[in-house]
Structure 1
Amino acid sequence: MTVGNKNMTVDEKMTGDLITLTIHGRVETLNSDEFQNVILKTFQKSKNIILNMNDVPYISSAGLRALLIGTKTATSKGGKLIITDCSPGVKEVFRVTGFDGIFNIQ
């Protein structure tokens, strides 16, 4: 499955009961609702999700909110939302905002 617009696309790969979402492009205010919806719809298929953010150069506060909602959803389902392969820009945003202590980042 691939969803997205010209600024962001999301590829989905299912391996057993684990779904990996690979995000491409900027996660910003204009597409954060779509980003959040993709995460929440994916939790309807599996309680364990990996977000590969290697190809995300920027994430806005609205994108952080979507990740926070995803993390809370995972917890409520007894699952995990794991963020992997963050680009340097996204790592810095997580560090500066303190979200690196909230999210499961590997």
Structure 2
Amino acid sequence: MEITEIIKDNYTMLNVSGRLDSTTATDFEKALLNLLDLQKENVVCFKELKYISSSGLRVLLVAAKKLSTTGKKLTISAMQDHIKEVFDISGFTELFNILPENPYE
């Protein structure tokens, strides 16, 4: 997995590529929680994500719970169809703002 962080005046974004699984979830969690602490619009781009396991979903659930206290939702963009299917089946599409494209490209 590779994570690229982009910090701008009005938003922060993580571009995540590769596999998000039990071996990479800790790194993703650190990057994501740091992103949430910046108090900006938060976007995670999964355009290049090839696989997500339950460990990756757990990290996203932690982030959703943290944001729920502020009334905000994490935006996840540009998911490939097989990743979107995992979100649909697990009910995660209700927890996040899901966009078909990256809003900042």
If the TM-score is normalised by the length of the shorter chain, which range does it land in?
A: 0.7 to 0.9
Deviation of 1:72 (Å) = 1.6
Identical residues among aligned pairs (%): 31
TM-score by length of 2: 0.84
Tell me the alpha carbon deviations over residues 23-81 of structure 1, each in whole angstroms, 9 at most, x when there is no partner.
Answer: 01110011111111111111222342100001001100110010111112222244431
Q: How many residues align?
A: 99
Structure 1 24/33 Cα, relative in aligned 2: closer, same or farther at 3 Å? same
TM-score by length of 1: 0.84
Q: Note the aligned Cα RMSD (angstroms).
A: 1.4
Which ranges in structure 1 are unaligned for 5 or more consecutive residues?
1-7
List structure 1 segments (4+ residues) > 3 angstroms apart after TM superposition. 77-80
**Counterpart in the other structure of 1:5:** none
Q: Which stretches in structure 2 are left out of the alignment for 5+ residues?
A: 100-105
The answer to whether the 8 Å contact 1:71/1:103 transfers is yes
> Residue 13 of structure 2 aligns with which residue?
20
Aligned counterpart in structure 1 of residue 96 of structure 2, from 93, 97, 103: 103
